[in-house]
Amino acid sequence: MQCILGPNGCGKTTLFNVVTGEFAPDGGEVRLGGRNVAGLSPYRISRLGVARKFQVPGVYPELSVAENIEIPLAAGAGRYGPLSLLGYRPDPVRRDRLLDLCGLAGKAGDKVGEIAHGEKQRLEIAMLVARDAELILLDEPTAGMSGAETSAVASLIRRLRDEEGKSILVIEHDMNFVRQLECPIVVMVRGKIVAEGRYEEVSRDPRVIESYLGKRH
């Protein structure tokens, strides 16, 4: 697990967009398991085992919670084309576990546009888990959550790493949350990396403090 930290507008989301194939990079390479994937279309990169969380929760507002979960669950079958989806039956046990994971077990039938913001964020993380990806990219997973919720998400992410063995890349600007993740951190300012290390080291770095709090601190 790796965390990228940086103030708003420093280029974190753009980095994700390049890695997931949303934009082709102007130069350089993106290697996944040794293969250069730069410029591949997003669905191909996703099939190599990359799943991404969007900053504005990338959930389907017009669909129900259960349908939202079903789409990534079926993605494995979906790679063999539309016909294989017709006969696909998602594993109900797994689905219910995912619903439990995001704390929406009782709300399977609710329209996602109408659930709370924090619930959408958790739902989307559960959707990434459902996608069964090796590498999970999280773009500000706790935006809009309270302190307690943030801790819950942090422990959920740690569990993904420790129990499921996922590689996780987190983009965040919330130092408190990053600390709870207990992972290596790089700090990006204006598209460049200015510091890296564990939380304790980074949080004392003067350039980091300057970029965060203004230079006089």
Range 179-198, binding another protein (CB under 8 A): none
**Cα gap 81→140, rounded to integer Å:** 32
Q: Which of 90, 103, 184, 197 binds another protein (CB under 8 A)?
A: 90
- In the list 147, 159, 204, 206, the residue contacting another protein (rule: CB under 8 A) is 147
| Three-state secondary structure call for residue 62 | coil
Q: Which of residues 117-136 bind another protein (CB under 8 A)?
A: 117, 120, 127, 131
The contacts of residue 180 (CB under 8 Å, 6+ apart) are: 150, 151, 154, 155
Radius of gyration for the chain, computed over Cα atoms and rounded to the nearest angstrom: 18
Burial 26-54 (b: 16+ CB within 10 A, else e): eeeebebeeeebbebeeeebbeebbbbbe
Q: Whole-number minimum distance, CB 29 to another protein, in Å?
A: 20
From residue 26 to residue 45, the character string flagging contacts with another protein as x (rule: CB under 8 A) and all else as - is ---------------xxx--
* Rounded least distance, CB 57 to another protein, Å: 10
Residues contacting another protein: total by CB under 8 A: 75
Residue found by looking up tokens 């499921």 in the block: 164
- Shortest approach of another protein to residue 101 CB, angstroms? 13
Give me the least distance between CB of 72 and another protein, in Å please: 5
Shortest spacing between CB 196 and another protein, in angstroms? 19
Question: Vertex 70, ends 66 and 73: CA angle to 5°?
Answer: 140
Task: Print burial letters for 191-204: b (CB count within 10 Å at least 16), e (below 16).
Answer: eeebbbeebeebbe
Q: Which stretch binds another protein (CB under 8 A): 30-38, 109-117, 157-165, 193-201?
A: 109-117
Give yes or no for residue 86 binding another protein (CB under 8 A): yes
Using CB under 8 A, pick the residue from 18, 102, 115, 168 that binds another protein: 115
